[in-house]
Amino acid sequence: MTEIFGIPLQAFLSQLLLGLVNGSFYAMLSLGLAVIFGLLNIVNFAHGTFYMMGAFGAWLLLQYLGLNYWFALILSPIAVGLLGVLVEKSMLRWLYKLDHLYGLLLTFGLALVLEGLFRQQFGVSGQPYQVPDLLRGATNLGFMILPNYRAWVVVASLVVCFATWYVIERTKLGAYLRAGTENPALTQAFGVNVPRMVTLTYAFGVALAGFAGVLASPIIQVNPLMGNNIIIVVFAVVVIGGMGSILGSILTGLSLGVIEGLTKVFYPEASSTVVFVIMAIVLLVRPAGLFGKEK
């Protein structure tokens, strides 16, 4: 067997793949956070909860309606997005004039409520969700065994991330959005319905989290706590990347996943802390984050 630094190539590459998979989730989640933050100035603490609900959506659709993974991939994010509309219209709306911190506190409370309800209903032990038939099994590449599903996760999330980037940076809709971020009053004066745009942006951001949740459901147990295990790492990713840039949050997410994966190969003890250490270093060197603009 070929080895790299005394580590079998297969294990090395598999860890790298796992890192990339995790990185894809970081990228999708931090992208959603960045989009929401950009327009609403709210740090959505409930982001992890929406991710969890996306996964539960997939599980419930299968369990009670018999709809398979591919339906879930579309329907579950839509359902999560609709819930997002409800949350924005009923609660967040009242906070825009206040200190931004109240948005963080409100969504924190929301996360507690939703997680508590799911926990009460389903316990914390996790519900299994099968890999769809089409992606079952693994491809033996000779130098490593590549589980088909994990490869799909990386591809799917990259496509979604870059599509989002394209829409925001290269289309007219994106131009309105960027204008709304820059100066809401002026944009409104030009006839753009900014409040509706705000609602839809929030819905889109959380739907992205829901989509990530569906992607994650066959990999990890569908579990009410799955969201809060990941969200704090994503916060660190956002601090490292800086909230300003769409592309920045995608790249930061992916590369931190890979770095984490490599840490697991060479120094597993540090794998859970490496992201935070990087955050501390970035704060020392570039307080605004790698891609952030100093305001």
Partner 1 sequence: MKRKLISAVVAGAFALAPVAMAQQKPAAGKISDGVVKVGVLSDMSGLYSDLGGQGSVVAAQMAVDDFGKTVLGAKIEIVSADHQNNAETGANRVREWFDRQQVDMVTDVLNSAVGIASGKVANEKKKLMMNVGAASTRLTNEDCNPHTIHYAYDTYALANGTGKAIVKTGGDTWFFLTADYAFGHSLESDTANVVRATGGKVVGQVRHPLNAADFSSFLLQAQTSKAKIVGLANAGGDTINSIKAANEFGITKNQSLAGLLVFITDIHSLGLNTAQGMLLTDGFYWDFDDKNREFAKKFFAKMKKMPSMIHAGVYSATMNYLKAIQAAGTDDALAVVAQMKKGNVSDFFLRNGMLREDNRMIHDMYLMQVKKQSESKYPWDYYTLKATIPAAEAFQPLSASRCPLIKK
Partner 2 sequence: MDNRTRVLYVALLVAGLAAPAVVYPIFLMKALCFALFASAFNLLVGFTGLLSFGHAMFLGTAGYICGHAVKVMGFPTEAGILAGVAVSALLGYLVGSLAIRRQGIYFAMITLAFSQMLYFIYLQAPFTGGEDGLQSIPRGKFLGLVNLEDDIAMYYFTFAIVLFGFWTIYRTVHSPFGQVLKAIRENEARALSLGYDVDKYKLLAFVLSAALSGLAGATKALVFKFETLTDVHWHMSGEVVLMTLLGGMGTILGPTVGAFIVVTLQNYLSALEGWVNVITGVIFIICVLAFRRGVVGEIAAFLKKA
Closest approach of partner 2 to the CB of residue 23, in Å = 17
d(CA 118, CA 104) in angstroms, rounded, equals 21
CB of 261 to partner 1, least distance (A): 7
Q: Enumerate residues 187-246 that contact partner 1 by CB under 8 A.
A: 219-221, 223, 225-226, 229
- DSSP classification of residue 222: B
Which of partner 2, partner 1, none binds 273 (CB below 5-8 Å, type-dependent)? partner 2
CA trace torsion 279, 206, 291, 195 (10° rounding): -130
**Residue-wise DSSP of 111-176:** HHHHHHHHHHHH-SS-B--PPPGGG-SEEE-SS-EEEHHHHHHHHHHHHHHHHHHHHHHHSHHHHH
Shortest distance, position 12 Cβ to partner 1, whole Å:
8
Residue 129 touches which member of partner 2, partner 1, none, C-beta under 5-8 Å by kind: none
DSSP 3: E
Q: Which positions from 101 to 120 touch partner 1 by CB under 8 A, shown as an x/- string?
A: ------------------x-
- C-alpha span between 139 and 81 (Å, rounded): 35
Instruction: With H, G, I as helix, E, B as strand and everything else as coil, classify residue 8.
Output: strand
Query: Of the listed pieces 83-91, 99-107, 125-133, 177-185, which binds partner 1 according to CB under 8 A?
Result: 125-133
Partner interacting with residue 11 (select from partner 1, partner 2, none; CB below 5-8 Å by kind): partner 1
Find, among 57, 83, 6, the residue nearest to 217 by Cα. 57
Q: Which residues bind partner 2 (CB under 8 A)?
A: 37, 43, 91, 94-95, 98-102, 104-106, 108-117, 119-120, 228, 232-233, 235-236, 238-239, 269, 272-273, 276-277, 279-280, 283-284, 287
Shortest Å, Cβ 230 to partner 1: 9
Q: Does 11 bind partner 1 (CB under 8 A)?
A: yes
Tokens 């960027």 belong to 178
Based on DSSP, count helices (H) and strands (E) in the chain, helices before strands.
11, 4
Rank residues 14 and 263 by Cβ distance to partner 2 and give the closer one.
263
Residue closer to partner 2 (CB basis): 42 or 58: 42
Residue 117 interacts with, from partner 2, partner 1, none (CB under 5-8 Å by kind): partner 2
- Applying CB under 8 A, the site for partner 1 has a residue count of 28
| Closer residue to partner 2 in complex, CB, 4/281 | 281
Of partner 1, partner 2, none, which one does residue 207 interact with (CB within 5 to 8 Å by kind)? none
Helix (H/G/I), strand (E/B), else coil: 262: helix
CB of 6 vs partner 1, minimal distance in Å:
9
C-alpha separations of 63 from 66, 72, 106, 132 in Å: 6, 11, 32, 14
